[in-house]
Structure 1
Amino acid sequence: MKSFLTSLTLAPVGFTAAPAFAQDTPFEVMKTNGCGCCLGWMNHLEDNGFAPTGEDMHGGLLIRQRIDSGVPQAMTSFHTAFVDGYVIEGHVPAADIRRLLSERHDAVGLVVPCMPYGSPCVGPDDNREAYDVFLINDDGSTDDFTSYSEN
């Protein structure tokens, strides 16, 4: 009984700590001007407790920013973000970003290449195609981080 009451007491603390951390952590999104998918993804982040800010960049500068930040050329998407020392490329779900920030992997960051249907703000989640979130290692290689199955 005591462990049950302790878990009830501690549960709200753990629940509120994650959004507070996200709100206090700068989250900068580099995107092209007027891109609806980029704005939709930023809304997804806000809905999940982050406070992203956007900076419009011309296409060539955005590509250079990705390359300079360690995103493999074959894994690029439509926006590049920076949060707490990590690069986030493409439509990475907020839950995976939160996991990365909590686990503190020794890595460049996360990437969802292209725009898989059903990833955040690219079509409905209940009708998604299968896609993977990859961890970008410091040497430029990638490892599976999360897999989302087809619905």
Structure 2
Amino acid sequence: MKKLLSILALMLLAQPALAAINATLYKSPSCGCCEEYVKYLEKNGFKVNAINSNDMSAIKTQDGSSNLASCHTTRIGNYTVEGHVPVAAIQKLLREKPSIAGISAPGMPQNSPGMGPEIKGTLKIYQLGNAAEPKLFSVE
């Protein structure tokens, strides 16, 4: 009986770690690669609320990602994730909690999640912020 109670207690304690991470993704209603990125996030443990917008430039201006823009913008916690950013970079962002607005994979790189086969180690992820020159966050 003690063993069963111990197992149940461990399961309850582990539950928060298994909870999905909420993400709100803003995208154009006609963008196919955005839908692929939503699927990618969901396969990797995110609960995605996808919102269609016909004014993506307004969203990008709000969060300072317009100089490193891509086709969609995701909000996860207090951070902005711009474009086809690999989950590894998002996990690093959430784990390290740097004092930045977010991260970006600018443009629509062919080797990124949602844009064809992902080629690890080739994608530059930049910090979002007010810096005149983009600052590298990671290479994924």
> What's the TM-score, normalizing by structure 2?
0.81
**Residue of structure 1 aligned with 2:61, choices 67, 87, 92:** 67
**Could you list the runs of 4 or more consecutive aligned residues of structure 1 that deviate by over 4 angstroms after TM superposition?**
138-141
The aligned runs of 1:12-91 (5 Å cut-off) are 17=17, 19-20=18-19, 23=20, 25-58=21-54, 61-71=55-65, 73-91=66-84
What is the aligned residue count? Answer: 129
Q: 2:68–2:128: 8 Å Cα contact kept in structure 1?
A: no
Q: Secondary structure at the match of 2:70?
A: coil
Q: Take 2:22 and 2:46, find their aligned partners in 1: how far apart are those partners?
A: 9
Q: Which amino acid aligns with 1:75?
A: L
Aligned residue in 2 for 1:8: none
Q: Which runs of 5+ in 2 are unaligned?
A: 1-12
Provide Cα deviations, 1:26-58, integer angstroms capped at 9, x if missing partner: 310000003110010011101110111100000
Q: Secondary structure at the match of 1:99?
A: helix
Greater share of residues in helix: 1
Aligned residue in 1 for 2:139: 147
> What's the TM-score, normalizing by structure 1?
0.75
Q: How much is the aligned-residue C-alpha RMSD, in angstroms?
A: 2.5
In structure 2, relative to structure 1, the CA distance for the partners of 1:140 and 1:87 (3 Å cut) is: farther
Q: What is the aligned-residue identity percentage? A: 28
Q: Take 2:48 and 2:130, find their aligned partners in 1: how far apart are those partners?
A: 24
The answer to whether structure 1 residue 135 and structure 2 residue 131 are counterparts is: no
Q: Which runs of 5+ in 1 are unaligned?
A: 1-12
